[in-house]
Amino acid sequence: ERRLLNNGKPPFVYGGADMGDRYCRLAREYNVSIQHGELGIAFNRLIDMADVRKEEGCAADEMKLLMLAFNLKTNGCSGDLKIHSGFAERIVSCNERFGAGEHEMTQLFYDTVAEDSTPKRIMTLNDNIYLFLLVANGKTETAQEILEQFVES
C-alpha cells in the first residue's frame, strides 16, 4: 500500500528516473526559450527547474536556479521589474534550507551567473548580488526600492 502525502499526492510525484526526465525536459525548454529571446518563459522554466531540485532535496542546485531567475527578473528580462513577494519568499526559504553564509552565497552567485547572461543589464553583477542577498535575508522592500532607483537612472 502506497502512503499518500501532500494533499493526497504521493511523495515525490516525479521521483526517481521521472524526476531526471522532467528536469531534462525543463532544461531543454529553458535553452530553447533563451535562444528565441523568450525571457519570460525562460524565467518560468528556471522556477520549474528549481521546483524539481527542491523536491529532490538539492538546496544548492535550487539556489543556483533561483539566482539565475533573479538575475533575469532584476535586469528587466522577464517582463516587469518587481520582486514579487512569492518569489522573494521562495528565495528566503531556500536560503534557510541551504544555510550558506554571505561570503559563500556571494561566491556561488559569481560562479553561477555570468556578466553576459542577460541581453542587456541595468546593473552590474555586484549590484545584482547585493540585491539578491538583501532578498535572501528577508529585506525585499529595501531591495525593491534600490531596484526602482536603477530603473530611474
H, E, C per residue of the chain = CCCCECCCECCCCCCCHHHHHHHHHHHHHHHHHHHCCCHHHHHHHHHHHHHHHHHHCCHHHHHHHHHHHHHHHHCCCCCCCCCCHHHHHHHHHHHHHHCCCHHHHHHHHHHHCCCCCCCCCCCCHHHHHHHHHHHHCCCHHHHHHHHHHHHHC
Q: Encode burial over 119-152: b for 16+ CB neighbours within 10 A, e otherwise.
A: eebbbebeebbebbbbbbeebbeebbebbeebee
d(C-alpha 134, C-alpha 48), whole Å: 23
What pLDDT, on a 0 to 100 scale, did the predictor assign at position 114? 80
Q: Name the pTM for this structure.
A: 0.83
Q: Grid coordinates representing 53?
A: 531540485
What pLDDT, on a 0 to 100 scale, did the predictor assign at position 118? 65
Residues in the chain where the model's pLDDT stays below 50 = 1-16
- What distances in angstroms separate CA 21 from CA 16, 26, 40, 117, 124, one per listed residue? 9, 9, 23, 25, 35
Closest CA to 128 of 101, 105, 152: 105
What pLDDT, on a 0 to 100 scale, did the predictor assign at position 2? 35
What pLDDT, on a 0 to 100 scale, did the predictor assign at position 37? 84
